[in-house]
């Protein structure tokens, strides 16, 4: 009896939380050519330095600095949302049910690592309360297919602004240049090295480890000669909370709506944190996620994944638009 009551109580809490999200952020209302074009930001041509310089501590995921140039392009101000992806699924299902099944996100990604996220298997993708949250559990292949569908959809609109365009995943250079947001010397999409602004507000949704949870402890470790010796280690003993949880305006345990936090200099939201984003170069993502520490939120730092079909609760994407005519 007690176990049944607990299950019912938990379900009520979950549903109440979902309902609380509804109306907090605008839900996706479907494709509108005028509204859609307003969500694209123009990134002018230019040059910038990518990577870490010689005086920086070398890391596996960093690279030596070099100068690269990019041509003008447009990029989405927001990560692709559940609502947008569901519209994609709805349209392709009418034409090809087999392809539709291939394009379905893997909602079981919430079960693999995060036991507390089990309800999101059913709710995260399809519940209206999460329509403005970034789609997760998609693969590179699915993200690429979405861009091809979006190209066809845009080109079918008679009132479109541009005659011929192509939507794609951004290259690493395009993504980093856009993420910089006119702040050439900052490693993050905002000015400075701090993760909080002067008001104490967190600037991204990421894995923030409270300072009071970090301490030192000692362990006995076997040395080169097979003898055990005492060594000191830095440890974090009480877990972590996301940056969004620490921000009263974005109270969440996982992702946040795609229009959360402050935009960068180009008007782009969540170029750091929330979900790490696919780039055109296969096997790499940029921007870090809600489950990553601040190091991975740096513009030039990338993370790796194994295959074109792999998916994660931490991984999503945004697109660019290249004008052909």
- For residue 30, give the CATH number of its domain: 3.90.1580.10
CA pair distance 65, 49, nearest whole angstrom:
6
- H-helix or E-strand spanning residue 104: none
- Within 8 A by CB and 6+ apart from 155, the residues are 164, 165
Task: Tell me how far CA of residue 257 lies from CA of 10, 84, 233, in angstroms.
Answer: 24, 13, 37
Q: Is residue 228 part of a domain?
A: no
Work out the pLDDT band at 62, boundaries 50, 70, 90.
Answer: low
State the CB neighbour count (10 A cutoff) for residue 324: 9
Q: Is residue 211 part of a domain?
A: no
Number of domains in the chain: 1
Q: Is residue 138 part of a domain?
A: yes
Domain membership of residue 281 as a residue range = 24-206+243-323
Q: Is residue 7 part of a domain?
A: no
Q: Is residue 232 part of a domain?
A: no
Sign, CA dihedral 244-248-251-257, equals negative
pLDDT at 208: 80
Say whether pLDDT at 121 is over 50: yes
Q: Is residue 137 part of a domain?
A: yes
Comparing C-alpha atoms, which of 199, 286, 292 is closest to residue 240? Answer: 292
Percentage with pLDDT > 70 across the chain: 77
Greatest pairwise CA separation for the chain in angstroms: 76
pLDDT digits 0-9 by tens, 240-252: 455 555 454 444 5
DSSP string, 219-253: EEEE-TTS-EEEEEEEEE-S--EETTTTSTTS--S
State the CB neighbour count (10 A cutoff) for residue 308: 13
Single pTM value for the model: 0.81
CA pair distance 99, 105, nearest whole angstrom:
12
CA pair distance 208, 201, nearest whole angstrom:
12
Tokens representing residue 227 in the block: 């003898």
Q: Taking the CA atoms of the chain, what radius of gyration do you get in angstroms?
A: 21
Task: Tell me how far CA of residue 119 lies from CA of 18, 114, 130, in angstroms.
Answer: 10, 10, 13
Work out the pLDDT band at 52, boundaries 50, 70, 90.
Answer: low
Query: Mean per-residue pLDDT for 203-232?
Result: 73
Say whether pLDDT at 26 is over 90: no
Q: Is residue 139 part of a domain?
A: yes
Q: Is residue 106 part of a domain?
A: yes
């Amino acid at each position: 009896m007690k176990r049944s009551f607990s299950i019912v109580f938990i379900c009520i809490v979950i549903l109440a939380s979902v309902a609380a999200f509804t109306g907090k952020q605008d839900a996706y209302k479907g494709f509108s050519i005028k509204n859609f074009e307003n969500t694209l930001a123009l990134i002018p041509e230019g040059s910038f330095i990518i990577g870490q310089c010689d005086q920086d501590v070398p890391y596996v995921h960093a690279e030596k600095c070099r100068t690269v140039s990019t041509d003008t392009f447009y990029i989405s101000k927001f990560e692709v949302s559940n609502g947008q992806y569901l519209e994609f699924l709805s349209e392709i299902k009418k034409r090809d049910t087999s392809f539709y099944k291939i394009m379905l996100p893997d909602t079981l990604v919430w079960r693999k690592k995060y036991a507390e996220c089990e309800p999101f298997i059913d709710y995260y993708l399809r519940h209206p309360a999460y329509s403005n949250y970034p789609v997760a559990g998609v693969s590179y292949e699915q993200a690429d297919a979405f861009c091809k569908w979006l190209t066809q959809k845009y080109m079918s609109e008679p009132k479109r602004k541009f005659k011929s365009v192509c939507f794609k995943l951004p290259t690493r250079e395009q993504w980093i240049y856009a993420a910089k947001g006119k702040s050439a010397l900052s490693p993050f999409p905002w000015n400075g090295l701090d993760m909080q602004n002067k008001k104490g507000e967190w600037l991204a949704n990421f894995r923030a480890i409270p300072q009071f949870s970090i301490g030192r402890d000692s362990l006995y470790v076997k040395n080169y000669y097979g003898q055990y010796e005492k060594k000191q280690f830095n440890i974090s003993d009480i877990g972590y909370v996301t940056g969004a949880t620490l921000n009263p305006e974005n109270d969440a345990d996982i992702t946040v709506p795609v229009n959360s936090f402050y935009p960068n200099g180009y008007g782009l939201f969540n170029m750091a944190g929330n979900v790490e984003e696919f780039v055109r170069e296969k096997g790499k993502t940029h921007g870090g996620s809600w489950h990553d520490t601040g190091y991975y939120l740096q513009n030039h730092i990338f993370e790796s994944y194994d295959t074109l079909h792999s998916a994660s609760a931490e991984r999503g994407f945004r697109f660019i638009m290249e004008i052909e005519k």
